[in-house]
Copies of this chain bind each other. A is one copy, B any other.
Amino acid sequence: MQITRRRQTTILLMVMGVLTLFTRGVAVGQQTDWYPSPWGADDQRGAANRLSPEEVLAARDLITTGQVYQLGRVYEAGMPVFGTRHFSLKIPYPLGPLGENQTTAHEAIISGELGQVGTQFDGLGHIGIGDLFYNGLSRHDFATPDGLTMLGVENVGPIVTRGVLIDVAAYKGVEMLDGGYEITRSDLMGALTQQGVSISTADVVLIHTGWGSLWMVDNERFNASEPGIGLEAAEFLIDAEIVMVGSDTWATEVLPNPDPSLAFPVHQLLLTKSGIYNIENVATELLAADQVYEFAFVYAPLLLKGAAGSPGNPIAIR
C-alpha cells in the first residue's frame, strides 16, 4: 500500500490523538470532566486552597476551654498495616559517653511506609485513576524513585481550620458500626442534625464509627473490612467543600465496597477528582466520648519531599 504524504499526516495526527487519549484517561474508561481542577491546571494543593486566615480565626473562636485532644494513634510494631507495608522502630546502642560531661545519646532507627501506616494522611500523589492523579497529572510525568516531583505532601501546608466530628455510631445507636456498613448521606445528615451542628466550606470532617476500638485488640478483624462512607456520602462532603475527611478506620471508606467491582472508589472521588484530603486511623473516640462536635483542628503534614502521604498526630482544641 502506498501512502501519500497527506494521508501520512492524517494518520500521524490520529495516532497522536489516540496516544493522547491513552495517556489522559479515556483509555481507562474515565470521564475527563474532573480536570483541570477548580484551582487551575497547575494547582498541586487541592482543597488546601480553601484554607485562609479567616478559617484560622474562625477555628480560634472555637477554643473556649483550652482542652487539647491528641488524635493520633501510637506507632508501634504489631500495629495493623495493609499488605506488605511495615513499621519498624529499634533503639541502637547509645552514642557516647562523650566528653568529660559524659553525654550519652539514644536515637531511634525507623523504617516503613510512613504516611501509609498508623495515623496517616493521604496526599494528592497517593491515589490515581489508572495513570492519572489529581488535576489530570500523569504519574509518568511526576513519579520518580526519589520522590514525586508534583503532588508531594510538602505542598499541602498546615491545616488549621474548624473541625467537626460526626458520630455515626452514636446516631445509629451502636458502639461500633459493622465492617462493610456503608455510611450514607442520610446517616451524615441525620447525625449532624442530632448533634446540632452543620458542616461548611473548609471544614475538616472526622467520622466516628467505633471501628477504632479494634486497634491493637483484634488487628485481623480491623484489617479485614471496615464501615465507612460510600460514594454518595462522599458526594455530600464534596458538595460541602470541605478540606479533609478522616475516620477511626484505615481507609475512611466502606470496605469492601458494596459494588464488588470497585476498589477504593471513594479515595478516587475525594483525592483524585476533588482534591479533598483523607486522614486515617484517627483516635476519634476521645472526641466522641466527650461529645465534642466542633473544635479547632490543627495538623501540619511532615515536609517529606515528594512523599505520597505523611504520618501525624493531629489535634483538636476546644
Contact residues of A with B, CB < 8 Å? 1, 10-11, 14-15, 18-19, 28-30, 52-57, 60, 63, 65-68, 70, 72-78, 83-86, 88-116, 119, 125-131, 133, 139, 143-148, 154, 157-158, 160, 261-265, 267-268, 298, 300-309, 311-315, 317
CB pair A315–B302 under 8 Å, yes or no, is no
Docked Cα-Cα span, A145 to B88, in Å, equals 11
CB distance from A7 to the nearest CB of B (A): 10
Name the B residues within 8 Å of A14 (CB-CB): 11, 15
Docked Cα-Cα span, A53 to B66, in Å, equals 4
CB pair A106–B148 under 8 Å, yes or no, is yes
CB distance from A269 to the nearest CB of B (A): 9
Name the B residues within 8 Å of A107 (CB-CB): 85, 113, 115-116, 126, 145, 308-309
Name the B residues within 8 Å of A53 (CB-CB): 65-68
CB distance from A305 to the nearest CB of B (A): 4
Name the B residues within 8 Å of A125 (CB-CB): 106
CB pair A130–B102 under 8 Å, yes or no, is yes
User: With A54-B66, A74-B154, A90-B92 as given contacts, are A143 and B315 in contact (CB-CB < 8 Å)?
Assistant: no
Docked Cα-Cα span, A317 to B101, in Å, equals 38
CB pair B101–A146 under 8 Å, yes or no, is no
Cβ-closest 10 pairs across A and B = A53-B66, A99-B263, A56-B66, A98-B263, A92-B145, A111-B111, A104-B128, A76-B305, A108-B307, A106-B308
CB pair B158–A303 under 8 Å, yes or no, is no
CB pair A28–B102 under 8 Å, yes or no, is yes
Name the B residues within 8 Å of A52 (CB-CB): 66
User: With A105-B127, A107-B308 as given contacts, are A63 and B68 in contact (CB-CB < 8 Å)?
Assistant: no
CB distance from A49 to the nearest CB of B (A): 14
CB pair B315–A160 under 8 Å, yes or no, is yes
Q: Give the residue name and chain of the B residue nearest to A264 (CB).
A: B103
Query: A103's contact among B113, B127, B305, by CB below 8 Å, is which?
Result: B127
Name the B residues within 8 Å of A108 (CB-CB): 113-116, 147, 304, 306-309
Name the B residues within 8 Å of A116 (CB-CB): 107-108
Q: Give the residue name and chain of the B residue nearest to A66 (CB).
A: B53
